[in-house]
Amino acid sequence: NSKDKEAAYGYAESGMGKGYKLHAIADESQGFVAWTVREMNLCEWSVADELIAQPDSEGYLTGDGGYDSNRLYDLAREKSIQLIALRRYRKAKGLGHRPNSPHRLRALSLQETPMGRGLLARGNNIETMFAQLTNPGCGLSPLPNWVRSLFWVEMRVRGKMIIYNLWRQKANSNAA
């Protein structure tokens, strides 16, 4: 939306785009447990600290290479969460020259176990949840022209999240 003064240029799915991006933490059983909308020019790991602070439950949190940051591992541990993120530089032979968080080192060793590989494989489910959130006719789609400013984009996303969660509850009750 080129007339939105708050929107910013950043990486989109197929190149560069201008607008906003939904960042989220999802749980297979609860849906999206933490989310925020930010300008597209902010990278995922810079928004992740805000997301990691939101959930009240402890456990495991998986992410892609964009979340492989010592700072995020330490922040997650403060919330009794074990972050397991794919290595940012997968072909690297070592761990680099800087000190590594013990929580990152634990996560890297966990990735070598069947449990760690299973957690990372299940992490792909968030992509399915994003698809379910965007693909239905009532889901998130390109915003109408009148939705401008971060406030109104967040309000629209909040409404769509409510609809999505109601849809999930109905789908789960029909499956039971």
pTM of the model: 0.80
Tell which residue, 111, 150, 168, has the closest CA to residue 6.
Answer: 150
Give the start-end residues of each E strand in 65-165. Answer: 81-85
**42-78 confidence digits (pLDDT tens):** 888 889 888 888 888 888 888 888 888 899 999 999 9
Query: In the prediction, which pLDDT does 39 show?
Result: 92
Q: Is the pLDDT of residue 88 over 80?
A: no
**140-171 confidence digits (pLDDT tens):** 777 777 788 999 999 988 988 888 888 878 87
Measure the CA–CA gap between 95 and 26, rounded to whole angstroms: 29
Query: What tokens does 58 get?
Result: 């402890």
Give the start-end residues of each E strand in the chain. Answer: 8-12, 15-27, 31-39, 59-63, 81-85
Residue type, 64: D
Which residues have C-beta within 8 Å of that of residue 77, sequence separation ≥ 6?
A: 83, 103
Query: In the prediction, which pLDDT does 104 show?
Result: 92
